[in-house]
Structure 1
Amino acid sequence: MSGRLDSKVLVVTGGTQGMGLAFARRAAAEGARVVIGARDKDRGEQVAGEIRNAGGNALFVPTDVTVEEEMARLVDTAVSEFGRLDGAFNNAGGGPMGSVRETGSDNWHQSLALNLTSVFYGLKYELPAIIASGGGGAVVNNASVSGVKGDATQAAYNAAKHGVIGLTRSAALDVAGSGVRVNALVTGLIDTPLWQGVVSRDPSAAQRYLSVQPTGRAGTSDEVAALTTFLLGDESAFITGAAIAIDGALTA
């Protein structure tokens, strides 16, 4: 297989469902060697096996992205198995709803750990490995529209995703002279298992979300994967430190 990501070694977190899964499949189809990190071992091995059966090159490493040692192991495994690291998609995230007044301290810390600290751990170990591999490379962090706009019902998630964009810019400046790039995705309403859960639980809530979506539809994980593939490929060599919207004009 060959394509835009031919021979690149890429790490993806949260790669067993939704946007992470779509990117893992797309990256492998584009010629990358993909190292998937996620908590669900059975599902992870299944996904990696499906990619290999389709002719791609994939490896699964059980990973809790909120644990620094496990993120370090994910990167170390990619390098030890494939000899280098060329890029990463720090995609894992999620968490409970709740306003500032409703959010308990445990949920606050859990949300920051999953959505922000995990990205810090990723960058901390990915960037040195990419630089050491030579030839430049790139990292994409999934920030979401919650990184650029407020939401009274998602206080902790909102704060964490704003932090991801700030962290992305800081990291991009830190490594700008090395040929390594760091960008963030401002993802809007995307049709993922999380969104399908909202639809099945409360169709009226789903309709309310769609009513403020200018395009009138949710985006797809494959559309996000296509943009991520571009940002991790060589064609986007002058794009770094950016927060790039893929949101159907939701933040326009």
Structure 2
Amino acid sequence: MSNALPLTARAFWGLIVRDSRVLAREAVPFALRTLMNPLLFVFVFTYVLPKVGGAGIGAGAPSGPGFATVLLPGLIAVSIFFQGIAAVALPLSTELGATREIEDRLMAPVAIWVVALEKVCFSAVQSIIAAIAVFPLVYWIPATPPVITFNWPLLVLVVILASLAAGSMGLVLGTIVQPRQIGLIFSIVVLPVTFLGCVYYPWAALTTVRWLQIGVLVNPLVYVSEGLRAALTPDVTHMSIPIVLGAITIVFVALTWLGIRTFTRRVIT
């Protein structure tokens, strides 16, 4: 038992190094995937629309610093979430397909669940990189910069938990969706989750649409957006911090458990 742990740790690190080399070879696609959508969103919503006087969205017509401040945590949340999902689901659906590239990874001297967990952890690293890369865009591009008050411990905790939760969701999608359907699933999932994930408005703003306010609570992105609001823009109304952290943790644990089960089933069959 004492010898098994160092061996597992070395094998796990070897998988991380292998994935890092693959990512380095795909640095340009990774950068485009990470930056393009946030760049377009922040440019249109916080620069173009305020400049032309058309930034009113919903009741209260937020614009200028108010809208930029509300939007900043949401866009970072989107970047974390979908970078993490894509980093696992897209390559995994291919590896489990006809090429069976996953068999190379399974030759590592570790349990199958360790291979699955490594994918979640490595995708979390990419999500954290995405959050760091996107922040300058959403801060400097708006016509009027957002008002930010950093709560560093909370920010670090939310980003790490959100990145792990996103990776676990990617693991589930990558193992239950056929390779030819993965693009369709993303098109079906991405838009509803984004627009109903409290990205462009705080959850409290949905009070006037009570049924929707309750319905969006099944969306994990809601808790990531609200957690980042608490960490970056505490003056904007946000959910209770314990509720946010508890919900993200539950999502991570539940989806990791499910993802490991579906991953194991796929590679064995």
Task: Give the TM-score, by structure 1 length.
Answer: 0.31
Which one has more relative contact order, counting CA pairs under 8 Å at least 6 apart?
A: 2
Q: More helix by proportion, 1 or 2?
A: 2
Task: Give the TM-score, by structure 2 length.
Answer: 0.30
